Amino acid sequence: MSYTYEYPRPSVTLDAAILRTPQLGFPEILLIKRGHKPFIGHWALPGGFMEMEEKPLAGAARELEEETGLYDLPLKPLFCCGEPGRDPRGRTVTMVFGCLVRDTAFAPKGDDDAAEAAWFSLRTPPEMAFDHRRVLAQIEQHLVWQARNSIIGRDVFHDLASSKDILRLHQNITGETRADLIEDCEKRGLLACRDGICQYISPTPSGPDWQPLVW
């Protein structure tokens, strides 16, 4: 099939925002140091250009594995970034996918376009490529908003956790104490708890492009 279109159009890139919280504290984010221009030597989210016959989620997972060696992580769609001028290579729209996990099965290692891969505090990242400092700020806002208004930690706890650990994670993310969190989430059908142990009940997504609870 040939692709012809007379008007200019943007390219699409796919980024993966992997957050980890080994001690249930405020999370770290996985970044790669760019090995090629533009922004060589600067840090960025793992990612790259989407291939023509590729589904976005599959492409984000592919780029993550190519650049860090990590795979089989529960990536979910977050948001898109498309401000003009964000990429010196041309007009680029980025789809960002994310997940929050306790930790990864093994340490990431820079490969392909990435000279290095390392964990950084989400709140104090190093010098970033493109507009990724702003993207990280939006990821933090997205995470904190979900923690304040719903439930987080399903993939941290693999669907089953003590109410104490859930409260600890929420408090460390938001900086606030919510004594009614467990009861409220039970009433809203987000948790099913018995004897201090809670099972996460996730709303059914409407399709591959929208997940109601990312973190």
Strands 28-34 and 76-81, sheet pairing: unpaired
Cα distance from N-terminal residue to C-terminal residue, the chain: 39
Q: Are the beta carbons of 64 and 129 closer than 8 angstroms?
A: no
Calpha distance 77→97 (Å, rounded): 4
CB-count burial class (<10 Å; 0-12, 13-18, 19+) for 32: buried
Contacts for 70 with CB less than 8 Å, ≥ 6 apart: 18, 30, 64, 104, 105, 106, 108
Calpha distance 77→117 (Å, rounded): 22
Calpha distance 122→147 (Å, rounded): 16
How far from chain centre, in Å, is Cα 46?
Answer: 10
Give the three-class secondary structure for 120.
strand
Q: Give catalytic residues, as residue numbers.
A: 116
